[in-house]
Amino acid sequence: MKLAYWMYAAPAHIGTLRIASSFKNVHAIMHAPLGDDYFNVMRSMLERERNFTPVTASVVDRKVLARGSQEKVVDNITRKDKEEKPDLIILTPTCTSSILQEDLQNFVERATMDTSSDVLLADVNHYRVNELQAADRTLNQIVEFYLNKARKQGKLAENKTKIPSVNIIGISTLGFHNNHDCTELKKLMAELGIQVNQVIPQGASVHNLKNLPSAWFNIIPYRELGLMTAKYLEAEFNMPYIDITPMGVVETASFIRRIQAIINSQGGDVNYEEYIDNQTLYVSQAAWFSRSIDCQNLTGKKAVVFGDNTHAAAMTKILAREMGIHVVLAGTYCKYDADWFKTQVKDYCDDILISDDNAAIADVIARLEPAAIFGTQMERHVGKRLNIPCGVIAAPIHIQNFPIGYKPFLGYEGTNQIADLVYNSFTLGMEDHLLEIFGGHDTKEVITKGVSADSDLNWEPAAQAELNKIPGFVRGKVKRNTEKFARERGFSKISLEVMYAAKESVGA
């Protein structure tokens, strides 16, 4: 047993559900007790999704414990097949089904006989993998299933497209700025004259997966999701893949150079050097920013970086290599892939932290006292407590990290966004610091509340105590309205009764 207050990566089934609900017309059925369908709330809230999340539960209750859930699961699969006619139904195990050890694979096989949809059991174990690993596996499982199916039916796409083309693998629902990144990547590909063959899983249809092999190569923008699929496609179809994240000016350039090499090795003839130069020097503002005196002022400032592998590694390199900021600590919660992280950042930071214990990270931040933090929502709150500004660069995230405006982290527009994020974090910190030195805003004294703060009215201790229980940000309003009410009615003392009477009458 482990005493835990908070976790960075979600349980395994969340990863499977993210993949399932990213595809079009794929339905996930969770084998789970009542209340485990919280994923639907998150998707509906965070992504502000207009459609019903295609996830239902086959509810595990007492009766299921007594006699097994076989009929129920099979019924729920066939029912969903009739109701929604999905292309694929994914039976999703949870922590509960892991310990019940029912033969879910057998239910899937039985259900398949009566459904027009395909049915798969997600091959994930709650106690062995986390959200990110599960998502990676599930995506690979689906791709493998449909490519095998297409091969059996002789429908597998064999020929490459005429012009160079690419599959973008790993864009998914509830991923950090994934949709904006996807748009930016498509734009980048268009500018390089590369056709986007398919984007998976977001918005993809399982029917089109058979065409994956017609792309010239695959790109895996995020370390956490898609690598298994890319490796499978490489082994099976000899498709090269690029696992460089095009985040930051330098990495974007090496990402593009790698594309160039791959295309040319397959008989293409492209040279992107001029494009890279032009983008770097004149289109993206990030290179110019690093030269400007704004950025000069950031030289040697201390920062801590923490997040998932992709974003924490890229951010560390951007801060150290492109902005001259002193990264005192870079860390990741992807413990299962720690070696990769270490090799990525070892030249760009003083220290490396591999941990999924949020208290450990908070302690280190408190000890190091950086000028800014780049982390998850948890580090943002640590920053709040310690009065250190924080830019959010990775999941876990809140609704404010699903902006409506265009905010990619990848590609050339991404470099602009990151420059803003970094610069704003540091300036705010500086401004805050100056305010403290000079004793706050000089306008403090003139701010009045309209109604005099010292009132002629007497608050009885009980009423005063009650008033103090009201949250600070509305207390002033409640106090003023109650006093106004008391004055109008000629009460000289404010008792609990007067307080409630005021609330009833004027909504104080």
Partner 1 sequence: MTLAQPQPSELNFDCETGNYHTFCPISCVAWLYQKIEDSFFLVIGTKTCGYFLQNAMGVMIFAEPRYAMAELEEGDISAKLNDYEELKRLCLQIKRDRNPSVIVWIGTCTTEIIKMDLEGLAPRLEAEIGIPIVTARANGLDYAFTQGEDTVLAAMAHKCPNQAPQAEKDERNAIAKLINFGKKKEENSEYIDHPPLVLFGSLPDPVVTNLTLELKKQGIKVSGWLPSKRFTELPVIEEGYYVCGVNPFLSRTATTLMRRRKCKLINAPFPIGPDGTRAWLEKICSVFGIEPKGLEERETKIWQNLEDYIQLIRGKSVFFMGDNLLEISLARFLIRCGMTCPEIGIPYMDKRYQKAELALLEKTCKEMGVPLPNIVEKPDNYHQIQRIQALKPDLVITGMAHANPLEARGINTKWSVEFTFAQIHGFTNARDILELATRPMRRNNNLKDLGWDKLVKEEVQA
The answer for residues whose C-beta is within 8 angstroms of residue 285's C-beta and 6 or more apart is 415, 416, 419
CA distance linking residue 74 with residue 358, whole number of Å: 41
Q: Quick check: helix, strand or coil at residue 463?
A: helix
Q: What is the DSSP string of 76-107?
A: HHHHHHHHH--SEEEEEE-HHHHHHT--HHHH
Q: Binding to partner 1 by residue 460, rule CB under 8 A?
A: no
Q: Which of 61, 277, 294, 350 is catalytic?
A: 294
CA distance linking residue 351 with residue 342, whole number of Å: 10
154 vs 507 by CB, closer to partner 1: 507
DSSP state of 24: B
Shortest distance in whole angstroms from residue 384 CB to partner 1: 8
CA distance linking residue 51 with residue 27, whole number of Å: 13
Q: Binding to partner 1 by residue 398, rule CB under 8 A?
A: yes
**Per the omega criterion (within 30 degrees of 0), is the bond before 396 cis?**
yes
Contact 376, 396 (CB under 8 A): yes
**Interface map 360-379 toward partner 1 (x if CB under 8 A):** ------------------x-
Q: Binding to partner 1 by residue 83, rule CB under 8 A?
A: yes
CA distance linking residue 252 with residue 416, whole number of Å: 13
- CA 25 vs CA 28, 45, 146: distances in Å: 10, 20, 15
Determine the straight-line distance between the first and last CA of the chain, rounded to whole angstroms.
Answer: 48
Which one of the spans 92-100, 200-208, 275-283, 343-351 is the region binding partner 1 (CB under 8 A)? Answer: 92-100
Shortest distance in whole angstroms from residue 414 CB to partner 1: 27
Q: Quick check: helix, strand or coil at residue 26?
A: strand
100 vs 352 by CB, closer to partner 1: 100
- Per CB under 8 A, the list member of 149, 186, 342, 381 interacting with partner 1 is 381
The dihedral sign for the CA sequence 465, 469, 475, 481: negative
CA distance linking residue 14 with residue 39, whole number of Å: 7
Shortest distance in whole angstroms from residue 376 CB to partner 1: 12
Shortest distance in whole angstroms from residue 87 CB to partner 1: 13
**Per the omega criterion (within 30 degrees of 0), is the bond before 164 cis?**
no
128 vs 487 by CB, closer to partner 1: 128
82 vs 155 by CB, closer to partner 1: 82
Which one of the spans 11-19, 177-185, 186-194, 255-263 is the region binding partner 1 (CB under 8 A)? Answer: 11-19
Contacts to partner 1 from residues 244-263, by CB under 8 A: none
At 213, list the tokens. 């092999």
Count the site residues for partner 1 by CB under 8 A: 64
Catalytic, 114? Answer no
- CA nearest 330: which of 317, 321, 339? 317
Q: Binding to partner 1 by residue 430, rule CB under 8 A?
A: no
Contacts to partner 1 from residues 339-358, by CB under 8 A: none
- Per CB under 8 A, the list member of 59, 171, 200, 227 interacting with partner 1 is 59
- Per CB under 8 A, the list member of 70, 87, 95, 243 interacting with partner 1 is 95
CA distance linking residue 74 with residue 110, whole number of Å: 7
Shortest distance in whole angstroms from residue 309 CB to partner 1: 19
Contacts to partner 1 from residues 27-46, by CB under 8 A: 32-38, 40-42, 44-45
125 vs 211 by CB, closer to partner 1: 125
CA distance linking residue 28 with residue 502, whole number of Å: 52
Q: Binding to partner 1 by residue 418, rule CB under 8 A?
A: no
Shortest distance in whole angstroms from residue 322 CB to partner 1: 31
Which one of the spans 48-56, 199-207, 364-372, 435-443 is the region binding partner 1 (CB under 8 A)? Answer: 48-56
Place of tokens 């789970």: 32
Q: Binding to partner 1 by residue 85, rule CB under 8 A?
A: yes
CA distance linking residue 316 with residue 505, whole number of Å: 58
DSSP state of 326: E
User: What count of Cα atoms within 13 Å lies in the side-chain half-sphere of residue 53?
Assistant: 27
Shortest distance in whole angstroms from residue 480 CB to partner 1: 18
Contact 19, 139 (CB under 8 A): yes
- Per CB under 8 A, the list member of 19, 20, 60, 212 interacting with partner 1 is 60
At 64, list the tokens. 């299921």
Q: Quick check: helix, strand or coil at residue 396?
A: coil
Contacts to partner 1 from residues 465-504, by CB under 8 A: 466, 469-470, 496-497, 500, 503-504
25 vs 211 by CB, closer to partner 1: 25
Which one of the spans 54-62, 181-189, 288-296, 422-430 is the region binding partner 1 (CB under 8 A)? Answer: 54-62
Backbone conformation region of residue 298, classed left if phi is above 0, alpha if psi is from -120 to 50, else beta: alpha
Q: Binding to partner 1 by residue 386, rule CB under 8 A?
A: no
Residues that bind partner 1 (CB under 8 A): 1-7, 10-11, 13-14, 32-38, 40-42, 44-45, 48-53, 56-57, 59-62, 65, 76, 83-85, 94-96, 98-100, 126-128, 130, 378, 381, 384, 398, 466, 469-470, 496-497, 500, 503-505, 507
Catalytic residue set: 294
